Chain A
């Protein structure tokens, strides 16, 4: 097969992998600020995209993390061919798409490693993989990363609540953590950009070198940096809403103080590990942090069922993408026809995943859809005033609600009514919006509860 053609194919596929990496990992930085309302969903993913773009340009020193020692190459080892990298990328992309479909935050780098390992095993046998490097650089960090991040986030959450706790019922200022969240999540997004865009740059450079288009040991060409940076930024802006939903809402109900603590822990863990020479997976660190912060706040609970699903996804990532990579490599060994077949099959699978996903769309709008029937209120875009039942002092003014943007669903409202205790009544004229009119008296005083509960 024409070498140029396969190199072009690999570059295109690598950029697509970068894109999936971006939208897979938006959640790491932006799930919690979106969940607490620190930023609007679109603003948040836009910020993450810009920071990923900037991050990709900031550092080009890595690029060695890819397969460094993982696959025995060079003298006495195997020759990594563009075909092998192509097959590995097919495995990584497909597994990324599958986990996205299920809304699982799984590590994109693990998918890439898995795909390359699978392709290498088929191409050059089991001896081509350096298993001790695999264990020490991939498997053990994967176990330790969430534990460290979770513990740190737990401690940080406890500290944050302890410092801001007030017993006299006066304002505790915890709203201010929403501002903090903007900065802490930005830091995570930036760190992600410096880390993950590198991997694709590494892959493309590797292919260019192995295809003889670049001299061995040369730097990453500038156009590769630009292309990778834009691919990951575009992916980030597209936003993997399914995963954002899982991380922001599925694991625990995140409050601003918790979100701030979780993101700071994530950023600290990523920066510390990157600086000290081995990279922890951003995804695993972020998930661990969210769980840790869920354990740290009094009265919050962690949905362990979701956590188990995520952990299963992590366990499967390496072997599953290795399997797909191996299959792709096996087909690719048929020669040009095989590569073509791979391309067609891969594109078919990805198209199918998109079709399946469009049946149950998760978009920025449905981020508002929280737990149970409450979502209808949130989706209406109309805020609901909460009144504390035992405070007759509060002035009971009639509100002038704006028109809600979405039609209300009476069925859900009935459920809501049943679920909460109707204690108060509203005085004054009936608002035009029947939704807020119905909800006003029945909403529990969440705003006030929040202050006293934590």
Chain B
């Protein structure tokens, strides 16, 4: 019959895995910013109401952001540590996603 335990397990597993992946990625971004390398990803197409810009202007914006990020109280080694942490976070996040793919392909684990 209806197995409420299964639903509970699914809910918990979903919550935990989604929050872990999302936290890792967000923390990675945060560390990138801390390291003085904020990612600058413009929208690929203007689906939203208003957006910046021609490529030249986008480059200008990115340059300005980099400049702003350079005013950074951290020492070079601290920045390097932050960058390493960022990459570590992204790597962990990627491996979590790969594990997800591993789970949906039965040929890999059966």
Contact = CB atoms under 8 A, between A and B. Distances in A.
Interface of A: 34-41, 43, 55, 58-59, 61, 132, 135-136, 140-141, 144, 148-149, 151-153, 155-156, 159-160, 163-164, 166, 170-180, 183, 187, 190-191, 194, 248, 253, 256-257, 260-261, 264-265, 267-269, 271-278, 280, 367-368, 370-371, 374-375, 377-378, 381, 383-386, 399-402, 439, 443, 446-447
A152 B1 CA distance: 26
Interface string B79-98: 00000000000000010010
A191 B18 contact: no
B104 to A, nearest CB: 5
B45 to A, nearest CB: 5
Chain A residues touching B, majority SS: helix
Interface residues of B, number: 55
Contacts of B9: 272, 276
A38 B22 contact: no
Given A140-B2, A276-B10, A260 B33 contact: no
A18 to B, nearest CB: 19
B30 A271 contact: no
Given A187-B100, A383-B51, 6 more contacts: A155-B18, A179-B41, A268-B13, A375-B49, A385-B52, A401-B54
A370 B51 CA distance: 13
Given A36-B47, A278-B6, A178 B41 contact: yes
Contact of B10 (A166, A194, A273, A383): A273
B40 to A, nearest CB: 6
Contacts of A278: 6
B14 interface: yes
Nearest to B100: A271
B13 A163 contact: no
